[in-house]
């Protein structure tokens, strides 16, 4: 999804990047075969060119296919100015984080994650495991010593995989041994690691409730694993939602995503040719909503916004703080059930939003297919999701997550990877048009993504 439109530069960049597919304006695609450099450009990896704008004539499309031996896919949309929408999203996200040292923020995230990894080893120590240098234990011995609850056996296996992948455990003849010396994951060492993580997070994010929450979970890991301690009271102390709300608002990747989605949705509303119908699923504490709804109000067009969740308490709270927006309605939507059985009609929304909710779906493929059914032709599905493992989540919110029935089942991973997400969207028949942050952005390596994909006006016929 490139902003570059000069055909010669596009060819040069494609050759350098080795990209398998690209999204370009129609005018650029039309001009590619006529470029003098086209016959000499080496593009062995390129398989698909997606383009937006006016559809190419048959003769133009054939020329592109002959020149580059690619699949050519037109991306229709209720909005033709895809570049403008993408720019609005990226611009809003950049303004949100202006003046913040993003490189320092990335370092703080890694320190946070490392403290969580050490907490896993420390939890084992408290059950008599890895207490001496060179101690080795089989996965079965670890499961027995920790008295892991049946519901958390998969999570324990994921811990062992992650610790091994990060070089903190080493496989040795069917057993595992800790690579660091025991003093590096002792109680004292852990306190220092968490203090350092909190300091770095506070300096870049301006608040540290996320780290405080993760630290409290880390202190209870042996009991969380065994089921003696529940994870719900740690996230919702005394039933309050304030802590959960903070987790989705204070981190910089979340702020980037929320601003991008608000900018994107407002840009769609300004360009849509009729009143915009928006469905938000898994709205929860409203971290996405509280940015999107005011942005839509600022556009000054007619909008119908349906805020949904499976939790009655979240809906009740939202009715209060969104009461000044009479065009916001409220309802229940379960991402793990088909829309028809919940009373929703096909093709009844122009935009469907999901802020960090589909990672909780049992089967992401099914959930995305159902959301696609709800989109009108040319409608947009806009999602924010992690695409890389979050070590602190493995020691906290992962205790609340059900095991998945999709691509995550094979590895036990908490989140789908970026290639897996792309396959999910493609399999639903959607055309991917926005992906943020761009690859060269400081936050890109953290894996938190904004996805936007369009439902075709009609089934693709290859052009």
298: CATH:
3.40.50.150
Does any domain span residue 462? no
Question: In angstroms, rounded to a whole number, what is the distance separating the alpha carbons of residues 26 and 82?
Answer: 11
CATH (domain of 26): 3.40.50.980
pLDDT tens by residue, 156-175:
999 999 999 999 999 988 99
pLDDT at 123 over 50: yes
241-273 pLDDT, tens digit each: 888 888 888 899 999 999 999 999 999 999 998
Mean pLDDT of 263-291: 95
Do 446 and 300 share a domain, yes or no? yes
Residue 272 belongs to a domain: yes
Q: pLDDT tens-digit profile of 188-244?
A: 999 999 999 999 999 998 888 999 999 999 999 999 999 999 999 999 888 888 888
Give the model's pLDDT for residue 463. Answer: 40
- Asked if residue 195 and residue 301 are part of one domain, the reply reads no
Q: How many domains does one find in the chain? A: 3
118 and 33 share one domain: no
The residue among 247, 277, 295 that closes a domain is 247
Q: Which of 197, 212, 247 is the last residue of a domain?
A: 247
- On whether both 49 and 116 belong to a single domain, the answer is no
Boundaries of domain holding 201:
102-247
- Do 92 and 143 share a structural domain? no
The pLDDT value given to residue 5: 63
Residues 370 and 274 in one domain: yes
**Range of lowest pLDDT (47-51, 267-271, 368-372, 446-450):** 47-51
Whole-number pLDDT of residue 124:
98
Is 170 found in the same domain as 240?
A: yes
Does residue 461 register a pLDDT over 50?
no
- pLDDT at residue 19, as a whole number: 84
Q: What is the mean pLDDT of the chain?
A: 92
Looking at the chain, the whole-number percentage of residues with pLDDT higher than 90 is: 79
Q: Which tens digit of pLDDT belongs to each residue from 386-426?
A: 999 999 999 999 999 877 677 777 677 788 999 999 999 99
Point out the domain boundary residue: 193, 227, 247.
247
Residues 143 and 216 in one domain: yes
Q: Is the pLDDT of residue 135 over 80?
A: yes
Considering the domain architecture, whether residues 22 and 109 belong to the same structural domain is answered as no
pLDDT digits (tens, 9 = 90+) for 44-92: 999 989 887 778 999 999 999 999 999 998 866 567 688 899 999 999 9
- Confidence class of residue 17 from pLDDT cuts 50, 70 and 90? confident
| Same domain (yes/no): 116, 186 | yes
Query: Is residue 390 one of the residues assigned to a domain?
Result: yes
Question: Does residue 462 carry a pLDDT above 60?
Answer: no
Say whether both 41 and 181 belong to one domain.
no
- Do residue 123 and residue 243 come from a single domain? yes
123, part of any domain: yes
Answer whether residue 445 shows pLDDT above 90. Answer: yes
């Amino acid at each position: 999804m490139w902003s570059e439109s000069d055909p010669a530069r596009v060819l040069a960049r494609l050759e350098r990047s080795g990209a398998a597919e690209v999204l370009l304006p129609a005018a650029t695609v039309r001009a590619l075969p006529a470029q003098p450099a086209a016959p000499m450009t080496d593009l062995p990896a390129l398989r698909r060119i997606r383009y937006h704008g006016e559809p190419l004539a048959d003769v133009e499309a054939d020329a592109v296919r002959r020149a580059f031996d690619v699949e050519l896919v037109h991306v229709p949309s209720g909005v033709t100015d895809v570049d403008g929408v993408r720019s609005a999203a990226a611009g809003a996200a950049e303004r949100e984080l202006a003046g913040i040292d993003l490189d320092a923020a990335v370092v703080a995230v890694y320190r946070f994650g490392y403290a969580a990894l050490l907490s896993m080893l420390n939890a084992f120590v408290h059950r008599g495991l890895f207490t001496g240098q060179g101690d080795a234990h089989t996965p079965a011995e670890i499961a027995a010593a920790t008295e892991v609850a049946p519901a958390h056996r998969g999570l324990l296996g994921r811990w062992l995989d992650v610790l091994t992948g990060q070089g903190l455990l080493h496989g040795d003849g069917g057993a595992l041994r800790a690579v660091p010396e025991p003093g590096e994951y002792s109680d004292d060492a852990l306190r220092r690691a968490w203090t350092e993580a909190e300091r770095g997070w506070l300096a870049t994010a301006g608040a540290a409730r996320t780290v405080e929450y993760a630290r409290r979970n880390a202190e209870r890991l042996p009991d969380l694993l065994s089921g003696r301690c529940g994870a719900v009271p740690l996230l919702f102390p005394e039933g309050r939602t304030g802590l959960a709300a903070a987790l989705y608002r204070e981190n910089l990747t979340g702020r980037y995503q929320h601003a991008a989605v608000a900018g994107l949705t407002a840009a769609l509303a300004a360009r849509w040719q009729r009143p915009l119908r928006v469905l938000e699923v898994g709205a929860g504490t409203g971290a996405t909503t509280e940015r999107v709804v005011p942005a839509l109000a600022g556009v000054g067009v007619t909008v119908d916004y349906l805020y949904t969740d499976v939790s009655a308490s979240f809906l009740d709270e939202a009715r209060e703080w969104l009461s000044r927006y009479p065009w916001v309605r409220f309802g229940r939507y379960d991402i793990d059930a088909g829309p028809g059985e919940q009373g929703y009609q096909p093709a009844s929304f122009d935009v469907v939003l999901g802020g960090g909710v589909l990672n909780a779906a049992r089967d992401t493929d099914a959930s995305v297919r159902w959301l696609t059914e709800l989109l009108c032709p040319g409608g947009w599905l806009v999602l924010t999701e992690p695409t890389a493992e979050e070590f602190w989540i493995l020691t906290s919110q992962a205790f609340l997550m059900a095991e998945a029935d999709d691509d995550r089942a094979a590895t036990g991973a908490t989140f789908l990877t970026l290639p897996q997400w792309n396959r999910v969207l493609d399999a639903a028949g959607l055309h991917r048009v926005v992906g943020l942050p761009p690859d060269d952005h400081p936050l890109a390596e953290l894996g938190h993504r904004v996805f936007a994909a369009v439902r075709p006006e009609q089934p693709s016929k290859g052009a």
